[in-house]
Every structure is written in structure tokens, then in C-alpha cells.
């Protein structure tokens, strides 16, 4: 009898929660999910915030994180959750209006603008590069040059020699393997900017500004540095930290900005998933965490394990020389920005700084 009564009471409680919680005035209804926030594009400094305490994070972990960032030559650091600023810190005289170089983190800008040009029908990334900028853009045999597609440049598997420096003039672009057969970190990706210029009939600056920068409210003070000499053809973007954060927020939202689809979701998904079968941790100029192995710049060595073992496995990131970082973590609805000088020895993308930094970030919410 007692067992029957317990089952009867359990059934009544279940019915109460199923039907009673549907009532508008029931106190046990879960709170609504907070909508993703986008800062306005009006040039103001308006940007909603969320405090550490609002999130239920560990406030004690904030100072060790900031101390580490300052120790490691950082100039700025931001954490954004669900579009809202949780932390925004500047170091060593850097301010919210100071411009700083993205270095190779800016490769993701080129990837995105290339995707926009494709969705507008100007290019097809599966077509060969010479379809858009003509032949002779390398010094390799024509038959080999014609194997190189725009997708090869996005995926870093052009087959061109990566040991000859940053100069991307034809004489410095030499054959080492057929495209698609070798992954190597190479600044030849900037030729995609030439592809966009030729295909759209617009300068890179104008197309970038009109189709990406202005659409998401990145500050107009940002600019592209044009390399000369040993850096001939190289283009590096400079901007404020908040402009970098806006771009990270666009990526987090699969190319959509406040209801407007700036770049189609399918291209962003392709960009942030493995693009070839050699370096599993590389998409279309984005680095990917949580894969079985990875390659690093200037080496053909395959390293087993995740790119940043201390970071969430679903993270993808833009990594630039001397530790410029855009970390995007969909599972946390989080974007993290770090700008500054090299945290340790000079590096092209990944360093041990990433591992330690993520240990300290994890302490905020774990």
C-alpha cells in the first residue's frame, strides 16, 4: 500500500510540473533565453556589458588573468559573452582608440571577403587563380600554376615553396609540390585580394570597407598596411580592439550581424571546419581546435592532439604573429581578443602562451 501511495504522489507531482508550470503566473517557469546582442553601427561607444557576478563566474580568478596578460606584453584583452562585454582591459598605455596590427589573424578577413565575393557571383573558389589574375603570377611551369585554385590559397595547400619569405612577387613563388598534396603556411594567400579586385572591378580597400567593415560597424580608422621590399605584396590590417571583437562576433553568429546575413552561413561553416586532409586543424585561413592532429608554420611535422589542449574543443581562432588572437567558442557563445607584443619569443601563430592563457581563462568559469 505504501509503495502505491508513493507512486500516486509522484504522479501527482509530475502532472503539476507538466500542467501547472505552463501557467503564466507560475514561479517555476524557466527564465527566457537571453538574446544575442550586437553593438550599434552608429560610431558610438555604446556596447552592453555583463558582469562577472551576473554570469556567476569566479571573481577571484580575474586578477591572476590580468597580471599574466600584463606580464606577457599584452596591449588589450576582451571577453564577450552572448555579444556583451564581460572584460575589457588595456595595458601599457594602449587605449580603446589605439590601432594595432592583426598580423596573420587578419587572414580571416581575407577569407571572409573572398566568401562574400563568391556569394555575390564574382568568383568561384574552385576555379584556378589564373582565371582571375592571369597566368604568370608565379614562376612555376604553367601546367603546375593552373592546378592552383582559390580554395588552395584558402586552405594553405598551394604547393608553393614556403621557405622563401613573405615576398609574393612571381619570382619568389616557386614550385615545391603539386597543389593539394602539401600543407604549408604561406603568405601567398594575399593573392586572393588580387582575385577579389580583378573579379569585382573594385579596389580591395573599397570592397572590404563596403561589404564587411561598414556592415558590422568596425571603425573607419582601421587601415591596411602595404608591404614593400622583403614584404612585397603583404597586407596587414590595423584596427582597434573593439573592431577586432566585432569581427569575432560576426564569426560567432555564422556570418549574421543583427539580423543581416553578411556572409552566408555555409561559407563560414566551411571556413571553420577542416579544409583538407593534411592539417586537420586548419579551415579557410582559420585555425581549428579539438582535432586529432595539427601542423605548425615552417614545419612539415604532424603533431598529435588538439591545437590548444586547455581550450574548448569547439574553439576556432584567428592567430597572428606575436600572439594576436581571436578565439571564438560557440559552446560558450564567447569571443576573446588579445592584442599586443609577443608574449615570449617571436612566433608566427601558435605559442605556449595560448595554453597558459586558457588555463587562466578557464579559472573564471570552471
Supply the DSSP string of 35-69, one letter for each residue: PP----SSS-----B--HHHHT--GGGHHHHHHHH
* Residues of the chain where predicted confidence (pLDDT) is lower than 50: 1-26, 28, 30
- The Cβ of residue 213 has, within 10 Å, a number of other Cβ atoms equal to 22
Q: What pLDDT score was predicted for residue 26? A: 47
Q: What pLDDT score was predicted for residue 346? A: 66
Which residue in 84, 56, 102 sits closest to 320, CA to CA? Answer: 102
Say if CB 114 and CB 270 are below 8 A apart: no
Q: What pLDDT score was predicted for residue 366? A: 84
What string of DSSP letters covers 340-352?
Answer: ES-SSS--SS--H
Distance CA 141, CA 204 (A): 28
Say if CB 197 and CB 219 are below 8 A apart: no
Task: Provide the β-strand partners of residue 293.
Answer: 304
Secondary structure of residue 99 in the 3-state scheme: coil
Write out the three cell numbers for 51: 558582469
| Beta-carbon-side half-sphere exposure of residue 194 (alpha carbons within 13 Å) | 18
Which residue in 156, 130, 133, 154 sits closest to 144, CA to CA? Answer: 130
In percent, the amount of the chain with pLDDT more than 70 equals 90
Which residue in 193, 120, 116, 117 sits closest to 153, CA to CA? Answer: 193
The DSSP element (H or E) to which 31 belongs, if any, is none
Q: Is the pTM of this model over 0.85?
A: yes
Say if CB 222 and CB 3 are below 8 A apart: no
Say if CB 103 and CB 236 are below 8 A apart: yes
| Beta-carbon-side half-sphere exposure of residue 212 (alpha carbons within 13 Å) | 28
Q: Between helices 107-119 and 241-252, what is the axis angle to 10°?
A: 50
Amino acid at each position: 500500500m505504501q509503495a502505491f501511495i508513493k507512486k500516486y504522489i509522484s504522479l501527482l507531482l509530475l502532472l503539476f510540473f507538466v500542467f501547472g508550470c505552463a501557467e503564466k503566473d507560475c514561479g517555476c517557469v524557466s527564465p527566457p533565453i537571453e538574446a544575442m546582442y550586437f553593438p550599434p553601427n552608429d560610431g558610438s561607444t555604446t556596447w552592453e556589458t555583463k558582469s562577472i557576478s551576473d554570469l556567476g563566474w569566479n571573481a577571484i580568478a580575474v586578477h591572476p588573468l590580468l597580471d599574466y596578460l600584463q606580464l606577457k606584453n599584452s596591449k588589450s584583452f576582451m571577453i564577450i559573452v552572448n555579444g556583451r562585454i564581460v572584460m575589457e582591459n588595456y595595458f601599457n598605455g594602449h587605449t580603446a582608440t589605439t590601432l594595432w596590427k592583426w598580423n596573420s589573424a587578419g587572414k580571416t578577413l581575407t577569407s571572409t571577403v573572398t566568401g562574400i565575393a563568391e556569394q555575390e557571383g564574382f568568383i568561384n573558389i574552385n576555379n584556378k587563380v589564373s582565371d582571375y589574375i592571369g597566368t604568370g603570377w608565379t614562376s612555376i611551369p604553367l601546367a603546375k600554376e593552373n592546378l592552383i585554385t582559390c580554395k588552395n590559397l584558402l586552405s594553405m595547400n598551394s604547393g608553393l615553396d614556403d621557405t622563401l619569405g613573405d615576398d609574393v612577387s612571381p619570382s619568389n613563388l616557386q614550385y615545391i609540390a603539386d597543389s593539394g598534396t602539401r600543407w604549408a603556411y604561406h603568405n601567398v594567400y594575399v593573392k586572393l585580394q588580387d582575385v577579389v579586385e580583378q573579379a569585382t572591378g573594385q579596389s580591395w580597400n573599397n570592397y572590404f570597407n563596403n561589404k564587411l567593415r561598414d556592415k558590422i560597424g568596425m571603425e573607419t580608422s582601421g587601415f591596411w598596411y602595404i608591404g614593400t621590399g622583403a614584404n612585397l605584396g603583404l597586407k596587414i590590417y590595423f584596427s582597434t580592439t573593439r573592431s577586432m571583437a566585432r569581427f569575432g562576433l560576426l564569426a560567432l553568429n555564422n556570418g549574421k550581424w543583427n539580423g543581416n546575413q553578411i556572409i552566408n552561413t555555409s561559407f563560414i561553416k566551411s571556413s571553420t571546419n577542416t579544409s583538407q586532409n593534411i592539417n586537420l586543424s586548419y579551415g579557410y585561413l582559420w585555425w581549428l581546435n579539438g582535432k586529432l592532429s595539427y601542423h605548425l608554420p615552417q614545419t612539415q611535422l604532424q603533431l598529435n592532439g588538439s591545437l590548444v589542449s586547455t581550450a574548448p574543443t569547439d574553439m576556432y581562432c584567428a592567430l597572428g604573429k606575436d600572439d594576436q588572437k581571436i578565439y571564438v567558442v560557440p559552446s560558450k557563445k564567447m569571443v576573446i581578443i588579445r592584442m599586443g607584443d609577443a608574449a615570449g619569443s617571436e612566433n608566427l601563430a601558435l605559442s605556449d602562451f595560448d595554453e597558459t592563457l586558457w588555463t587562466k581563462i578557464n579559472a573564471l568559469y570552471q
